[in-house]
Chain A
């Protein structure tokens, strides 16, 4: 009897691990999304080491140099060069930094704002909830692009301004999701139990509510990240995103649009990069949702 009991835990553990592994390893979307995002992350982190050229160095002799697979392309400029002769591959690598900083920064800023509002609304209910819902509705009524354009026009464009503006505009989904889940968690007995054990509101939020919200928050964060990346590109394209010499992907598209007929790769290359990054982020979010819901996918 004791032998059996003693030998079960490792066996159970192994079985549990075997059960858990296919759950996320077997999710194609999650793996693809994770791979794309990791690639972008590595590109951004190691850009200074990997980039063949200085992304700001102009070389008028190689203006509009075509990428290597085009006629006249060379391995010196693998992805060609733009209208100022700056190496496109280097700019693309450094551009990943900007996209990711904007994406992650915005997700963090909006996550903090949204989660605070959402938890307060869900936990306290009543008047606090009404006020929070008013702010959420007011926020939903604002056109994001227009407000962002106005703010950037007022305060001037820089990476920080764009990030904070988007962060202040994209917290609504965080707030709604955390509010709904908090209302649900609030009525769980373990929250009352914590209260009965003398826990303060802050302790309850930190130990009981937040850990239970974490997977929802992660999923929303990936969605907001993707949205922030696209919005930054849109703002940069409109000329009100990050300022000019920085190699933002949106800015690269904007600068390339003049030569769309003769050097189309100037637009398609950053376009594809942007598309892949957003796709990867969304796939990751979708995958996370699928593997963390108890019902599983399909």
Chain B
């Protein structure tokens, strides 16, 4: 197992009180596996990713009962040890390719700097690696591109460069935080295919953070669904799409736009909004918006096994969707 996280908690102090952004999140990733963390904005998925890399804001408090990367304990690691890991064995791809590159350095410089910092190799070796990777991510004339500045590239090309940069030191795990959100749809599909292909051929573990279920269905091996700071369902991708247990997961799948949806009819959506995480909630976080909510949902709900390698945080996983939700697949 490459990465193993148990009971990760992140607390961010705010003026209104402590904000529990991530609560008891557990998951693991193996080599060559793609884990998708899905959820709507503000559910804590990005904070989870940043806490893995030790990049939370200074005021945030992180705790976990277990957090290991390739057997090494990440909780007790010194800053220096974490730095040696970052970029080298653990890498990240950003959401916004426009700002993830320094506008004042050439691509070649930015790509080779990472390599030289970790490998202490010579610039020529770093250059060769950069050219190889740029070609690998589908950039023509890679050697010429090395002399260019980020503003000379389109968004799609820049994101390819960002991906190449993340791969410079042959990492074992890549965290991709909505890597395709800022791009248009055709480029999205192309880049996803590229990512999936690179991941399989290099045997990388990948954590993909996204809210796009279509994307998840195409590349995920395993899916973690988060809601309001908690993991509410964790299953193999196939199982999750065929047999969603938690009402939120079902509602989420039900709100994927369907081309056969009748015109001028409102698209299916989940009523209500995500609760504030400033006060610690007792019981099910989804109960205000859940069609099945009852008094029993007011006590803390544990994750329970509902199938092979399938857990859900709900006591009513068996309940049938009421009529209003009959359009859900």
Contacts and interface: CB of A to CB of B under 8 A. Distances in A.
Q: Do A and B belong to a common assembly? A: yes
Interface in A197-217: 197-200, 203, 207-208, 211-212
Interface size class of A (residues with CB under 8 A): 10 to 19
B56 to A, nearest CB: 11
Contacts of A296: none
A248 to B, nearest CB: 39
B77 interface: no
B84 A198 contact: yes
Interface in A174-222: 188-190, 192-200, 203, 207-208, 211-212
Interface in B115-154: 117-118
Interface size class of B (residues with CB under 8 A): 20 to 34
A207 B100 contact: no
B58 A189 contact: no
B100 A190 contact: yes
A196 B87 contact: yes
A188 B99 contact: yes
Interface string B94-109: 1110011111110000
B22 to A, nearest CB: 18
B213 interface: no
A195 B94 contact: no
B83 interface: yes
Contacts of B103: 190, 212
Given A198-B117, A207-B102, A192 B55 contact: yes
Q: Is the interface of B mostly helix, strand, loop or mixed?
A: loop
Contacts of B31: none
A121 to B, nearest CB: 14
Given A192-B55, A196-B55, A207 B85 contact: no
A126 interface: yes
A8 to B, nearest CB: 11
A154 B236 CA distance: 78
B101 A198 contact: no
A278 to B, nearest CB: 31
Nearest to A214: B104
Interface string B14-56: 0000000000000000000000000000000000000001010
B96 A189 contact: yes
A198 B88 contact: yes
B55 A195 contact: yes
B101 A190 contact: yes
A199 B95 CA distance: 20
Given A198-B86, A212-B104, A207 B114 contact: no
Contacts of B162: 193
Interface centre among A125, A196, A199, A211 (most CB of B within 10 A): A196
A199 B113 CA distance: 9
A14 to B, nearest CB: 15
B92 interface: yes
A197 B165 contact: yes
A271 B95 CA distance: 58
A217 B102 CA distance: 18
A145 to B, nearest CB: 39
A197 B105 CA distance: 16
B74 to A, nearest CB: 14
A261 to B, nearest CB: 57
A196 B177 CA distance: 13
B105 A196 contact: no
Given A189-B99, A190-B100, A196-B55, A211 B105 contact: yes
Contact of B94 (A125, A126, A193, A203): A193
Contacts of B86: 195-198
Contact of A208 (B83, B94, B102): B102
Contact of A190 (B84, B102, B114, B118): B102
A110 to B, nearest CB: 24
A207 B53 CA distance: 21
Nearest to A187: B99
A193 B88 contact: no
A137 B116 CA distance: 42
Contacts of A197: 86-87, 91, 113-114, 117, 165
A198 B114 contact: yes
A198 B99 contact: no
Given A189-B99, A189-B100, A193-B100, A198 B85 contact: yes
Contacts of B96: 189
Contacts of B114: 197-198
Nearest to A211: B104
A201 to B, nearest CB: 10
Nearest to B175: A196
Contacts of B88: 198
Nearest to A212: B104
B104 A198 contact: no
Given A126-B58, A196-B91, A197-B86, A203 B117 contact: yes
Nearest to B102: A190
Contacts of B117: 197-199, 203
8 contacts: A189-B95, A189-B99, A195-B86, A197-B87, A197-B114, A198-B87, A199-B83, A207-B102
Given A196-B91, A197-B91, 16 more contacts: A125-B58, A126-B58, A189-B95, A189-B100, A192-B94, A193-B165, A197-B87, A197-B114, A197-B117, A198-B87, A198-B114, A198-B117, A199-B83, A207-B102, A207-B105, A212-B102
Query: Ordered nearest first, which 6 A-B pairs have the shortest CB separation?
Result: A197-B87, A198-B87, A198-B86, A189-B99, A189-B100, A197-B114
